[in-house]
Structure 1
Amino acid sequence: MSPQSSTSRPLISNPVVPFSEPAYLTGLPSPYYNDSHYAWQAHCRSFISSQFANALSWEDEGDVPETLFKTFADANMIVPAFPAPLPVEQLKAAGIHEFASGLKVEDFDYFHSMIYTDEMLRIGLSGPAASINTGVAYGIPPLYKFGSPALQRRFLPDLFHGRTRCCIAITEPSAGSDVANISTTATKSSCGKYYIVTGQKKWITNGIWSDYATMAVRTGGPGPNGISLLFVPLKENEGKGVERRRIKISGGGTSGTTFIDLDEVKVPVENLIGKEGMGMKYIMTNFNHERLTIAIGATRSARVVLAAAAEYVMKREAFGKTLVEQPVVRHRIAKCAVMLESQWAWVEQIVYMMQKLEKKVGDVELGGMTAMCKANSGMVLSECSQCAVLLFGGNGLTRSGLGETVEKIFREVNVVRIPGGSEDVLLDLGVRQLVKIFQAKTLALEATRGSKL
């Protein structure tokens, strides 16, 4: 069958731990997936599972193996972190035509992207996946979307193949979700050949390993119209205006979170991405991808932790019976399961709409919904992880043994609820955007009616 054809899968005869897999992977029918998606899922699971076999120990050690990123890059398994559809022309120019599963880059769609993200978080921990994907997913797209042809020719091939790495550097000590108020400045040198960059960037994922940063800087006055994007060399300026240090965080500790100090760093003017003053608009084009990616990963983490709880209570005995025989235990799991499966259905629905809508339309129509979906994913993860800790009891508080995964995922909750736009900000943003769309359409409809009178 072609990648666009549909298929039906027979029911799986082997038992599946309740809530451990999305319905489409338990043999139940779904309108969303075709043979290409099932083949891609099998490839992702095989490759990613083999690479992440020791991921739980990495969290204790505080870092991932040095070779991990290269292994993914050599297998073309960093490319799926880009938003769908992929930059086909530029990838092919760099010699990347298909993945090991046989999936061609031009056939990669939003569901392939969702499957990849879901499988990357199947260990339940965000750190290992983020150590590979965050810079790729958010740092490279502005370059291939808005960079000059010369800038793209110079940097994209090495970035696509993982020979060099970059990060996205937006957040600052005093400007997190309030992107429009960043204060890092980039002023032209007297000779006009360089931007001189001074400021600080904080909570920059992958920053410690990156050769470059796609950096939001202020080239103009206050507010969003004064922001531009620069492709800033970090590694070559280490000790010459660039200082980096690792930040330890409560969850996702293997993701390479970094504080970057910039003191009069010289950046060639040719490294401007697009036009001056357009940085905020460029950043916003990737918001839906970022927030949906976080939502997909968080929903899988919630699935991992709730399934662990379900499996545990079916085995654990107390007061002469297994825990699952206690109505209060079943009720607690059921409440979380309702939230989890509803969240996953919402994710699938948004992915489907993204696939069907023109990107410009989807960016507008789905912006508020995606923001709320991301916020809700953190709340679902919080409920599922707390449920699991309570059901595991003392085991859920220990960093080894039966409750190791549960304890680690519990520390991941706020890593979801804050980055990518904090929960309260996104909930408010979602409603404001939906109201704005309603009001604009109402005015347009009234204008149309008026013209017919």
Structure 2
Amino acid sequence: MAENSLNPVPFSEPPYLRGLPNPYITPAHLRFQKACRKFAWENLIQHAMEWEKAGTVPEHVFHTFCKANMLLPNMPAPLPVDWLKRLGIHDILGVKVEDWDYTYTGIYCDELARSGLSGPGGSLNAGFAFGIPPIVKFGSKDLQERFLPDLLTGKKRACIAITEPEAGSDVAGLTTTAVKSADGKHYIINGTKKWITNGIWSDYATMAVRTGGKGAAGLSVLVVPLKNHPGVSMRRLKVSGQITGGTTYIELDDVKVPVSNIIGKEGDGMRIIMTNFNHERLVIAVGVTRSARVALSAAFSYCLKREAFGKPLMDQPVVRHRLAKAGAELETMWAWVEQILYQLSHMSKEDGDRQLGGLTALAKAKSAMVLNECAQVAVLLFGGNGFTQTGQGELVEAILRDVPGARIPGGSEDVLLDLSVRQLVKIYQAQEKKLAQSSKI
């Protein structure tokens, strides 16, 4: 589908792009969406399947996006305006950096995932979405001065490195250690990181390490050099989906890092990581919902033209029933995502983290469930074509392989379901305490 064409197939576009009234989208948002779609189509989307099959997005694509400031939208809103202006960056496709809000972020993430494949976009954005934000939010002035100019302009690449072979969603259980040298000037890091998106191309990792005792209180976050740094070895991992994402295994053997590379202070690790997760989970939810949209609309289109038993598949009640159930899940999910994006645009970061953190975790988990439903329906309705990595069903077959990459990273599904309710219980208890206190006055 060319960049400027409107897909008439049901479920192919969010309602605001089908001309329906929307309380969140302004004319400025619409102008950005058109420009963003054109840029993404020309530089990524039209080649996405080709590059996914090849296994790697060409390096020049990252630099093209950076030159146009088109990886900055992956960062949390509001953007780091002072830093961007210092670097001569004043707008993103015509949107002033100071005007950027989470609705723009949602539009961008939706367009970046328009191919339906999460790997190509994921090959570009992990550093800006997850690796750089902790430095911006929690890094010292010295740390920011040393790293942000190159990272924000794409001269250097970063990733986030938390997960380990024995510690994924259980962040508090990670075992990679950072012990101070005898002279107190360096941390010596030993351990492994696994399933690190973009790691293989990254100059630096924003890395969770253990500087103290057991549990969450012993965690810290460091900026750790990767490429060609003594003691660091990296290799790509073969994964079933998101082939182009650069999933990486990192080994750290007496890796020497200046103590000044710490983000925040020792023991701040869990707070930094959890704050970062809220943004990560939200942008994942947006992209995943677009992938679900691509899969379901492809199935809808196929069922309109494919004949079986003497009539189009769409004439079969069971087919319409499957499409309807998946479509209801999809549009409900998008409405929820839009709502969260709008709410974050009108709340402080602190209020958003506190009030929406649990719901964002729930939304991320639910979006992956919706993707699973839509992808499963699409593959079933495509039949044999949906089981084949070439031909009419190759896209839905690839999207189905991407599903685990939606259900596991950023906090696996069952962990996030539990986390969301625990967060909501905390909010309830805090509100109940306030009500009890006010009733005594």
Give the shorter-chain TM-score range: over 0.9
Deviations 1:232-287 (A, max 9, x none): 111141xx211101011111011011010001111011111111111111111111
Q: How does 1:38-437 map to 2 (within 5 A)?
A: 38-52=30-44, 53-99=46-92, 101-237=93-229, 240-437=230-427
Deviations 1:214-243 (A, max 9, x none): 111111111111111111111141xx2111
| CA separation of 1:110 and 1:391: change in aligned 2, threshold 3 A | same
Question: 1: distance between equivalents of 2:337 and 2:126?
Answer: 20
Deviations 1:94-137 (A, max 9, x none): 111112x2111000100000000000111001101111001211
Residue 319 (structure 1) shift: 2.0
Deviations 1:184-223 (A, max 9, x none): 1111111121111111111110000000111111111111
| CA separation of 1:425 and 1:213: change in aligned 2, threshold 3 A | same
Q: Tell me the secondary structure at the aligned position of residue 91 of structure 2.
A: coil
Question: 2: distance between equivalents of 1:147 and 1:265?
Answer: 21
| CA separation of 1:445 and 1:301: change in aligned 2, threshold 3 A | same
The one-letter code of the counterpart of 2:350 is K
Residue 320 (structure 1) shift: 2.0
Question: 1: distance between equivalents of 2:211 and 2:175?
Answer: 10
Q: Which moved more, 1:358-367 or 1:304-313?
A: 358-367
Equivalent residue, structure 1, for 2:14: 22
The one-letter code of the counterpart of 2:204 is Y
Deviations 1:341-394 (A, max 9, x none): 000001011111111222111101111111111111111111111111111111
Question: 2: distance between equivalents of 1:103 and 1:124?
Answer: 26
The one-letter code of the counterpart of 2:320 is R
Contact 2:165-2:193 at 8 Å conserved across structures: yes
Q: Tell me the secondary structure at the aligned position of residue 273 of structure 2.
A: helix
Question: 2: distance between equivalents of 1:13 and 1:93?
Answer: 38
Identity, % of aligned pairs? 62
Q: Tell me the secondary structure at the aligned position of residue 254 of structure 1.
A: helix
Q: Tell me the secondary structure at the aligned position of residue 267 of structure 1.
A: strand
Q: Tell me the secondary structure at the aligned position of residue 251 of structure 2.
A: strand
CA RMSD of aligned residues (A): 1.3
Question: 2: distance between equivalents of 1:327 and 1:200?
Answer: 52
Q: Tell me the secondary structure at the aligned position of residue 245 of structure 1.
A: strand
| CA separation of 1:103 and 1:359: change in aligned 2, threshold 3 A | same
Equivalent residue, structure 2, for 1:8: none
Question: 2: distance between equivalents of 1:262 and 1:409?
Answer: 33
Deviations 1:3-48 (A, max 9, x none): xxxxxxxxx9977110000000001110000011001111110011
Gaps of 5+ in 2: none
Contact 2:217-2:268 at 8 Å conserved across structures: yes
The one-letter code of the counterpart of 1:70 is H
Deviations 1:397-423 (A, max 9, x none): 111110010110010111100110000
Q: Does residue 447 of structure 1 match 2:440?
A: no
Question: 2: distance between equivalents of 1:282 and 1:180?
Answer: 13
Residue 173 (structure 1) shift: 0.7
Question: 2: distance between equivalents of 1:319 and 1:280?
Answer: 58
| CA separation of 1:209 and 1:14: change in aligned 2, threshold 3 A | closer
Question: 1: distance between equivalents of 2:7 and 2:422?
Answer: 44
Deviations 1:32-80 (A, max 9, x none): 0001100111111001111121211222211111211111111111111
Contact 2:57-2:244 at 8 Å conserved across structures: yes
| CA separation of 1:15 and 1:241: change in aligned 2, threshold 3 A | closer
Question: 2: distance between equivalents of 1:150 and 1:366?
Answer: 32
The one-letter code of the counterpart of 1:379 is M
Equivalent residue, structure 2, for 1:5: none
| CA separation of 1:236 and 1:13: change in aligned 2, threshold 3 A | closer
Equivalent residue, structure 2, for 1:34: 26
TM-score (norm. length: structure 2): 0.97
Query: Where do 4+ consecutive residues of structure 1 move more than 6 Å?
Result: 12-15
Question: 2: distance between equivalents of 1:106 and 1:322?
Answer: 51
